Amino acid sequence: MPSMNMQQFSWHHLDQWHLGVVGIILLLGAGTAYFTAARRVPTWPRSRSVWFCLGLLVTFLATQSVLGVYDMEYFSAHMIQHLALIMVAAPFFALAAPLDLAYDAGGAGLRAVLEGRVMKVVTHPLFGFAAYFVFIPVTHLTNLMNLMMEHAWIHHLEQIGFLVVGYLFFRVAFGLERGVTIHPGLRLVYVMAAVPVDTFTGLALVMSSRDPFSSYAMMAPVGSSRSWIISNVHLGGAIMWIGGDALMLLACIPIAVAWVKWETVRTRELDAQLDAQGI
């Protein structure tokens, strides 16, 4: 067993700024920019501002709490952090509709960028799905994990990547923002089609008979045995597998509710049209 046990969450750890000064500035800057823009749009829903606050809060806790303290030493903590970023914080940001806010509050130049070809590609449903489908296994089953453990700046870029990829994926799943959208019923298919990615990645780690990351032995707590390192990798894989699938299924609930509401409205509209035609 390792000589140092996993500590429970404590406010004491919030003074350990693992994102660094730049990271903290990014979080504060994102919040300032969002709420400054929201003040310029009097009709902007407060609920969306609340979702953005929750996204910032989850991001902060995922990187600055005990998860941030041990995310390089305990693979299990590392996986919890990633799930919190891509499947909790990112959906919150998607519900906050930041691109719509930027479009409504920005000038002609910003609107031109948001309506440009690059943004149309980046915000397309296929791009969001492909990004998620590729990003999850690449960041957990390739040498990128070793590079992340060896270089802190790659680790921080990876954290930002989880937020961006998660946002692009869930903005399509929720269908709140302008741009190319898919049928409300197909959004459930869209989300469920991505579940095997988490399952495959998690199972690949759970079934690993050796430590798949050579750098992890150097990052693990002092005194960690080979068997403990492998068991912690297995635990991280189980967290990705079970936790990731559970969070995906949880995200399906509001999507299903929105679909039912959409179908109800459509049914009423069709009934009204048929009544008007005397059918």
How far is the CA of 94 from the CAs of 23, 29, 50, 55, 87, in angstroms? 20, 18, 12, 9, 11
- Indicate if the pLDDT at residue 257 is higher than 50: yes
pLDDT at residue number 226: 86
270 in a domain, yes or no? no
Sign of torsion over alpha carbons 237, 61, 149, 170: positive
Which tokens hold the place of 20?
């660094």
Whole-structure pTM value: 0.87
pLDDT of residue 13: 47
Determine the pLDDT at residue 124: 95
Chain segment 81-133, per-residue pLDDT in tens: 999 999 999 999 999 999 999 999 988 999 999 999 999 999 999 999 999 99
| Percent residues over pLDDT 90 in the chain | 59
pLDDT on residue 2: 40
pLDDT band at 69 (very low <50, low <70, confident <90, very high): confident
**C-alpha to C-alpha distance for 267 and 200, rounded to whole angstroms:** 39
Please tell me the distance from the alpha carbon of residue 233 to that of residue 149, in angstroms, as a whole number: 14
Instruction: Tell me which of 207 and 3 has the higher pLDDT.
Output: 207
209 confidence band (pLDDT: 50, 70, 90): confident
Kindly state whether residue 194 falls inside one of the protein's structural domains.
yes
* Among candidate residues 16, 3, 4, the one with its CA nearest the CA of residue 66: 16
Residue 46 to residues 7, 42, 88, 214, Cα–Cα distance (Å)? 37, 10, 19, 47
pLDDT in tens, 179-200: 899 999 999 999 999 999 999 9
User: Dihedral through CA 217, CA 218, CA 221, CA 223, nearest 10?
Assistant: 70
Residue 273 in domain: no
Decide if 64 contacts 27 (C-beta within 8 A). no
Range of the domain at 44: 11-264
- pLDDT-derived band at 29, boundaries 50, 70, 90: very high
What's the structural domain count of the chain?
A: 1
Query: Does residue 174 sit within a domain?
Result: yes
Q: How far is CA 100 from the centre of its chain?
A: 19
pLDDT of residue 151: 84
Q: 80 lies in a domain?
A: yes
Alpha helices in the chain (DSSP H): 20-40, 46-64, 66-70, 75-84, 90-95, 98-105, 108-114, 117-122, 125-141, 144-150, 152-174, 184-192, 195-206, 216-219, 226-238, 244-276
Closest CA to 34 of 91, 87, 106, 86: 106
What is the per-residue pLDDT for 279?
A: 66
Alpha helices, DSSP H, located in 96-177 = 98-105, 108-114, 117-122, 125-141, 144-150, 152-174
Domain-embedded: residue 279: no
- Is residue 206 predicted with pLDDT exceeding 90? yes
Is 141's pLDDT higher than 80? yes
Averaged confidence pLDDT in the chain = 87
Q: Distances in Å between the alpha carbon of 4 and those of 7, 52, 221, 223, 239?
A: 9, 36, 6, 8, 21
Quick check: 238 and 206 in contact, CB under 8 A? yes
Q: What residues have CB less than 8 Å from 12, skipping those under 6 apart? A: none
Whether the predicted pLDDT of 237 surpasses 70: yes
Examine the pLDDT at 275 and tell me if it is beyond 90: no
Question: Does any domain span residue 113?
Answer: yes
214 located within any domain: yes
Taking residues 7-25, what's their average pLDDT? Answer: 53
Question: Can you give the pLDDT at residue 20?
Answer: 54
pLDDT (mean) for 10-27: 58
Residue 175, Ramachandran bin (φ over 0: left; ψ between -120 and 50: alpha; else beta) = left
At 22 the pLDDT is 65
